[in-house]
Amino acid sequence: MCSPLPFFSLLLICATGSWAMDVTMPFMEYLDQEQLVCLKWGFDNPAGDITFQLAVNTTGWVGFGLSPNGDMKGSDIVIGGVGSSGSYFSDRYATGNSMPLEDAQQSYTLLSMRENEGQTVMTFKRPIKTCDDKDFQITAQPIKLIFAYGKTDEISYHMSKRGTKEVNLLNYMPKSIPTNSSYLSATVDNIIVPSNTTYYHCKVMQFPKLNTKHHIYQIEPVIEHLDLIHHMLLYHCPPKVTEPYDKPCYIGDIGDSCFGIVASWGVGGGVYELPENVGIPIGGEKSDAFYRLEIHYNNPERKEGIKDSSGLRLHYTAKLRQHDVGIMTTGVLPGRMKYDIPPKANQFHTYGICNTAYFSKFLNPVPDLQVFAVFLHTHLAGTKVRAGHFRNERQIDFLGIDENYNFDLQQAVSLGSIKTIKQGDEIVVECTYNTTNRASVTKMGLATTNEMCLAFLFYYPVINITSCVSIPDTKGVLIDAEKIPMDKITEYEMMLKKAPQYQVIINSNHNASLFPNGTVRDLMKTPAACQIRNTSNRFSTSWIVNLAGIILVLLWIILM
């Protein structure tokens, strides 16, 4: 039986895995019901490294693995501990219910191993994608994690000291059960969906009054016609919006100025839960505020007479979390200026920028923005989206990468690490399109057959800026995208990329400011998908741990 002190120590180790305490490994799960085995992890991007920290209530050997079915056979395993002659650690694989074999290619690197007050804490990393056929490949799907440990450093049969738990390492969403499980409903009421191929319906409303500030922690879709609804967005309105309405969007109503994103759902997505230390503020001083629900109906078959009452259910709690969430739109400003994508292009890139140096014109001081999630969005022609992070004119990171964009699978995905954006940092959003099956120009716009290029950043602390987007000054671009020859497509793309950018920054009151002469900086190559390493069991001298993630929640925004 474990003594109370070591058990308490383990709880302290795992408590440091909160978002506020450890930005390098923000995810944490107990792998057993007794909470004696704690796993923390984080990663920088889906093509980089993933770092784990396993804390176990034992002074013997500890083992951790990735399994195809929860059993030993076919598992990718590491075993380590602190023995009488120092630490030991090895990458192994299991061929059955027997001692795992040592892998000839050691893909895992030990970062630290310590034993203290009855606990063994093993920190290690590996490439998310490896070239070793003995390694279990980590994907965005749930994986069965296995563990075992012994009372001594003699590695032998673990008996009952073992277990398994299914966890999605790359798309992790912690589950919380607040004592107050109340929710607000933002739904339309039995509207008739027109037979248009694309239709946007908007409902401006107020919620029941909440006298004190609360936090939304979970967004649940209420979908009546999954085949028609492409996405739903809930926006916060500026004070000038004072009356409700229920009608088509973007026909000149005052509610068109509601563009502070509060919640969303996109095709292919499900229930979205925020990390445990952040919440979307609602109520209190803003109890009288209006909100706009926008639903995009995609009806290519032009079905008639369909009634719909879909929307969003916002679960909230009076127990406030540490940070208020902000969602900032970055990328290409849709529909404002000419940014045409030529037909018959196998690969065409568009670019949008955000230079945060201008934020000081809106607020002072400008805090560091801690980005914990990003949503990348294009329409049907989009094949890839990347969001680069620059500091002092040099790229330091990617805020998001999707090399295999799927229009029909858009959902929230958590970043594996907190990305810090400092004042003066720049963001470049790059979208890649394939229009080989199109005979005419594709324009930026609302329709599914139009295009967008957006990255939505989820961050804290919230600031009074909702959008930071751009569009190229096309006055000097004399090529007509409609008539462009195939051999001139790359030249046309580069002319648009090199053109000065008009940057548009919009605050929560929908006041916009224009900043000319922006520059699109060159993005580095996406990190290689397959990494081969010659690693040893020696301690790493670096504690720079990666982490990133993916949160796909369909969020897009048209700035009217």
Residues with catalytic function: 200, 377
Cβ-based burial of 509 (10 A; exposed 0-12, middle 13-18, buried ≥19): middle
Token pair in block for residue 89? 């650690």
CB 330 within 8 A of CB 402: no
| Omega within 30 of 0 (cis) for the link into 461 | yes
21: burial class by Cβ within 10 Å (0-12, 13-18, 19+)?
exposed
* 379-392 CB burial, b ≥16 within 10 A, e <16: bbbbbbbbbbbbee
Q: End-to-end CA distance of the chain: give it in Å, rounded.
A: 65
Q: Concatenated DSSP letters for 233-287?
A: EEEEPPTT--S-EEEESSSS-GGGG--EEEEEEETT---EE--TTEEEEEEGGGT
Nearest to 59 by CA among 42, 39, 94, 84: 84
Contact 546, 119 (CB under 8 A): no
Other CB atoms within 10 Å distance of the CB of residue 138: 19
420, two tokens: 């810090």
Tell me which residue of 383, 469, 503, 475 sits closest to 431, measured CA to CA.
383
Q: How far apart are CA 543 and CA 132, in angstroms?
A: 25
Q: Exposed, middle or buried, 477 (CB in 10 Å: 0-12/13-18/19+)?
A: middle
Place of tokens 């000839």: 104
Beta strands 272-273 and 143-149, pairing class: unpaired
Q: Which two tokens stand for residue 265?
A: 């759902």
DSSP code at position 523: P
Query: Residue 266 is encoded by which pair of tokens?
Result: 């996109």
